[in-house]
Amino acid sequence: MSAHDHALTDDTLSAPAHRRRLAKQTCLGLTILWHPDRHRIGAQAALPLDTNTEFTVNRLAPIFHAANRQQSEPLAHRSVSRQPLLFHTQRDGGVRITVPDSRMLVRVQGRMINHQIDLDAAALTQGVVIELGEQLVLCLGTILCIPDREPDLGLIGVSHLMSNIRSLVRQMARSELPVLVLGESGTGKELIARALHASSQRHAHALVSVNMAALSEQLAAADLFGAIKGAYTGATQGRRGFFAEAQGGSLFLDEIGDAPALVQPMLLRALETGEYRPVGASRSEHSTARVIAATDRALADGSFNVPLLRRLEALVIQVPPLRLRREDLGVLVRHVLEQENAVEPSLFDARDLAALALFDWPGNVRQLVHVVRRLLLARRSQMPVTVASVLADLPKPQRLSATAAPTPHAVNEPAVESTKGRSYRDPRSVDDAALCASLAACGWCVRDAAEQLGVSRTSFYALLQKSKLVRQPAQIPTDELRAVMRQFPDQLDAWAAALKTPKESLRRFVQQLPREH
């Protein structure tokens, strides 16, 4: 684990005062990652090893407490022996686990244990996966001593790190200051922006989300601040910008690290004074939108406007990567299974969850969701597939954030393209069919498709320009476009899928269309 990861395990707050005020007491404990009764997933039991040198776990003890249920109960499953596992504390901060002389199979970190195993403090910090009786999966690691019973705000997770994130969101929702959300790709930064907006007094107004990486250098100012008729070639009518759309609400600037350099000083002025000027206009407009920005880049590397960075980092949320909150794997997977209506036991079991929990997820929650959905799709098609085979088919090399530490499961193949410390796949190895298939699999979202293919977004946009299969919105006949829009009213995802075009550029193009009379 890197120094950066160690810092994140302390808590996810950005200032010492916040840490003292919001940090919650933690202790060593067990989290249920998988249980045949899926309602039990996420329940936790604190192990009082600070006062005892030995603790036992069996079918009837300890008692597990769930944040969203009043009832607390033991594991209570016939596959778990009544004879206890013994947990012994060690002087170095580790734990020795001794398994009982019973028919119950016990695996620790994927290894069958017949007698005992020693776990050091570092392993406990990362979370240790324990399988009991082929039916249950637990995680031994750091948990909250008292379960967090506050609403989850749409931020799923039982770990103490996610609890701290939710506490910070509630506090920052009361402020009007800008918020900068930092974290690796796929950690759920947009979900945090939604939670900030929904928890604020602005919730009745719009939350406008903008992918800054998708803005062109030439039209970025018009996209953000609007433009009057005739302001540039093709501006046949005036248009509102994102700041105007978010008036009274929140403006989420995703991928702020990829904002075109030309508009960064304009964003700084909007944040400092609340004023902006539409392209071609003779007078300024005033914005009341609250800005929330997010990035997976290291903005202090000198390539980003420093005064703008100082404005954005008035309040900061650092989102921990999934590898540091293994306790959340169970509830995250359960959420995907519920979304996919995967209730049949044959579609997913304890061994699947254990395999997922032992992976380090360089693509974080987004990658986890894609893998579970791919697994379900294959099994519903009667294809013989395992978690290991799905993980082996992940695009290589996997790109890591510039601030991420390499993990045991990260791909170490040499990259042919590197930008600011991040490694990517050679875009020449991506053919047109793979490009189109990746977009379709990712809901025609450029960011997710580029992540899946392992290429940089700049290279991905270059591939789009040359594609014969993926259409550019401006190339689509207006009659065809309007017909699809009438068929699927207000459904951008459906429009993009039907027209085979990236949805971000489609949304911007639709905003410029003259209204039908």
pLDDT for 357:
97
Tell me: do 362 and 281 sit in the same domain: no
Q: Write down the pLDDT at residue 401.
A: 39
Domain count, the chain: 3
Q: Tell whether 243 is covered by a domain.
A: yes
Mean pLDDT of 104-113: 95
Whole-number percent of the chain with pLDDT over 70: 88
Prediction pTM value:
0.76
Same domain, 333 and 298: no
Spatial distance between the Cα atoms of 28 and 32, rounded to a whole number of angstroms: 14
352 with 294, same domain?
Answer: no
* Cα 75 to Cα 132: distance, rounded to the nearest angstrom: 10
Beta-strand relationship, 116-119 and 290-295: unpaired
Residue 167 covered by a domain: no
Q: What span, in angstroms and rounded, lies between the C-alpha atoms of 497 and 492?
A: 9
CB 155 within 8 A of CB 195: yes
Mean pLDDT calculated for residue range 412-419: 36
Pairing of strands 417-419, 207-211: unpaired
| 482: containing domain | 413-511
Residues 6+ apart with CB under 8 A from 234: none
How many CB atoms are located within 10 Å of the residue 330 CB?
26
Which tens digit of pLDDT belongs to each residue from 121-167? Answer: 999 999 999 999 999 999 999 999 888 888 899 999 999 999 999 99
pLDDT digits (tens, 9 = 90+) for 270-325: 999 999 999 888 899 999 999 999 999 889 878 899 999 999 999 999 999 999 99
d(CA 384, CA 59): 33
Mark whether 131 and 191 lie in a shared domain. no
Query: Is 193 part of any domain?
Result: yes
Pair 267, 299: CB distance under 8 Å? no
pLDDT per position as a tens digit, 390-404: 998 887 544 433 333
* CA–CA separation, 379 and 342 (whole Å): 11
Residue 391 lies in a domain: no
- Determine, yes or no, domain membership for 161: no
The amino acid at 38: R
The tokens of 505 are what? 């550029």
Decide if pLDDT at 419 tops 60.
Answer: no
Q: Are residues 422 and 497 in the same domain?
A: yes
Looking at the structure, tell me whether residues 26 and 112 fall in a common domain.
yes
User: Taking a C-beta distance cutoff of 8 angstroms, is the pair 44, 144 a contact?
Assistant: yes
End residue of a domain, out of 380, 402, 428: 380
The strands making up 179-182's β-sheet, listed across from edge to edge, are: 207-211, 250-254, 290-295, 179-182, 315-318
pLDDT tens figures, 176-218: 999 999 999 999 999 999 999 999 999 999 999 999 988 888 8
> Which pLDDT score is estimated for 445?
87
d(CA 293, CA 448): 18
Tell me, yes or no, whether 250 and 344 share the same domain.
Answer: no
**Lowest-confidence pick of 87-96, 412-421, 477-486:** 412-421
What gap in Å lies between CA 493 and CA 498, rounded to an integer?
Answer: 9
